[in-house]
Amino acid sequence: MLVIIVAGIGLIPKEYGEAAEVFGASRWQAFRRITLPLLRPSLQTALILRVIMAFEVFAVVSALSGTTFPVLMGETYRYQFDLQDGSVAAAIAMVILAISIVFTLFFIRVLRGITDALVNSILVASVTMVMSILIGAPAGYALSRFDFRGKEVFRVLVLMTRAFPLPLLALPLAVMFIRTGLDDTIFGLALVHTTLAMPFAILITFSLFSGIPIELEEAAWTLGCNRLQAFRKALHSIDMEIQDQEFMVLLGASGCGKSTLLRIIAGLETQSEGEVWIGGKRVDHLSPRDRGIAMVFQNYAVFPHLTVFENIAFGLRMKKLDDKIVKERVERNAELMHITPQLQRYSGQLSGGQRQRVAVARALAMEPDVILMDEPLSNLDALLRMEMRAELKGILAASKTTTIYVTHDQVEAMSLADRISIMHQGHMVQSTDPVEVYRNPATRFVGSFIGNPPMNFLAANPVGKGQWQVAGKIFDGPETDKKIEFAIRPEDLVETEQGLEATVRVVEPLGAHTLVTCDVDRQLFRAILDSRSDVKAGDVLYLSPQQERIRWYDTETDLAV
């Protein structure tokens, strides 16, 4: 039962616990108000399965032995009967295994429509039961077949547990292997050690890796190293200052460390070095609820067993505010987010957009010093995302609350931010206003990441002081001995009679303009032309870049020159 309950707890999304912590709940309050109500399906599963297992064991063993077997003794049948040889023990184990599988399949079919958590709990319980049988049957056989010192004491210990905990299996298994001569074989030694060690190894390994945030796992793949290496190198020397009432966006590809940085600010992760200050006060030693923050999670973390009203009021109740103040704040922010008609509904009755509104209203109701947002629009469809983007900008500007917003969507970043900080492989590579980021990318990566379509890059060869040859044409550039690249955005190209020779490969009419993909100097090159252009695949164009829009990058450091 304990395993099932623990498994049930593991099925509760971690965002619920983190949200409870961020909004002021202690560990006990989070368990009582969030975990325990959500754990009911697992508790029900554990009780149901325990009764089924008892009757199942009673029926099978009674039929095989011809004796009456007390139901409440559970799995102790394995050593209460005088099993004459290993084949009988194996037969009993296999019969019970078969019945277990049948019961599992039956319950999965019956309960599939109820909750995924309930079905998953039954699966976990069934796997646990099967492992118990496979490991316990040999130990039961050893207890009934062989005599060894302390055997009766051992019987009492197992009887008291009414189960076969792994430490109590060690002695009878060892006796069985010694008496049968298996201890003299490599196979026997390997089998007994593997049998006893594997469950512990699986548990420890699973616990270790499940505790590593998914952002770090993604960073591991991005950086080409394993998970533990990425854990040590998720962020590198981040030094940033955010002004009061500023809307800061952390922008980067998946695995760059942006969510990890946000979680460190929230207090959900701990940095290996450095300090976190909020409102002139150092907070990295404080719990999330004491940092003066509120957070909107990627999956919203709207508690499913609470109404919309109680979800918005959750943090306020943790602060023990007067009911009148709670009601006023909830209703005010619900009206602001246009969810007043849904106040008495549960999250399962809401759309994705409505749940997102609830999460934002809950954060605003706290009136925090800082609001943290972890990709809050990523689960919405494109149209709803655009609507919510505009709405969020107006609401957060009106609230005059400092906001740190994480996203991988550059359109969100450009439209929402007062300042964008671009992250790449754990480094912050540029932090400035959206227009500056777009017009003057600090690195080649920023130029290739910002913009849709991204910047074009071509090799440049020096032909004189401040003169560079690019695809057969001469351009004025920086006076440097470094090896550099020419860069230009597709919209900064003009179709002329003289310019870079480009062979058209693909033409994409996009309504307001036409996107043309070409070959220039045997490299992929894109240009945005007037929508009235009649260019076709196979045509040869001559594209001239606007001189003031050309950018140059050091090929060794990727930095702008």
Whether 308 and 373 share a structural domain: yes
Same domain, 193 and 118: yes
Q: Looking at the structure, do residues 199 and 69 belong to the same domain, yes or no?
A: yes
pLDDT at 152 over 70: no
Q: What's the one-letter identity of residue 252?
A: G
User: Are residues 406 and 258 in contact, defined by beta-carbon separation less than 8 angstroms?
Assistant: yes
Looking at the domain assignment, is residue 88 inside a domain?
A: yes
End residue of a domain, out of 399, 415, 439: 439
Last residue of a domain, one of 210, 238, 260: 210
Greater model confidence, 40 or 551: 551
Domain range enclosing 115: 39-210
pLDDT tens digits for range 414-472:
999 999 999 998 899 999 999 999 999 999 999 999 998 999 999 999 998 889 999 98
Regarding whether 424 and 299 lie in a shared domain, the answer is: yes
Rounded distance, CA 449 to CA 546, Å?
Answer: 21
With cut-offs at 50, 70 and 90, classify the pLDDT of residue 389. confident
Q: In the chain, what percentage of residues exceed pLDDT 90?
A: 38
Same domain, 361 and 507: no
Higher pLDDT, 170 or 347: 347
Contacts of 395 (CB under 8 A, 6+ apart): 336, 337, 360, 364
Least confident of 175-184, 251-260, 478-487: 175-184
Compute the distance between CA of residue 283 and CA of residue 292 in angstroms, rounded to an integer: 9
Tell whether the model's pLDDT for residue 291 goes beyond 60.
yes
Q: What is the pLDDT of residue 546?
A: 92
**280 with 405, same domain?**
yes
Tell me, yes or no, whether 327 and 412 share the same domain.
yes
Strands (E), 142-213: none
Cross-strand partners of 530 = 513
Cα 121 to Cα 8: distance, rounded to the nearest angstrom = 6
Residues 330 and 312 reside in one and the same domain: yes
Could you give the C-alpha distances from 296 to 107, 314, 362, 510, in angstroms and in order? 37, 14, 8, 35
Residues 343, 250, single domain; the answer is yes
The reply to whether 71 and 190 lie within a common domain is yes
Residues 196 and 253 in one domain: no
Using CB atoms within 10 A of its CB, is residue 85 exposed (0-12), middle (13-18) or buried (19+)? exposed
pLDDT class of 293 with cuts at 50, 70, 90: very high
One-letter amino acid for residue 352 of the chain: G
Residue that finishes a domain, picked among 210, 228, 245: 210
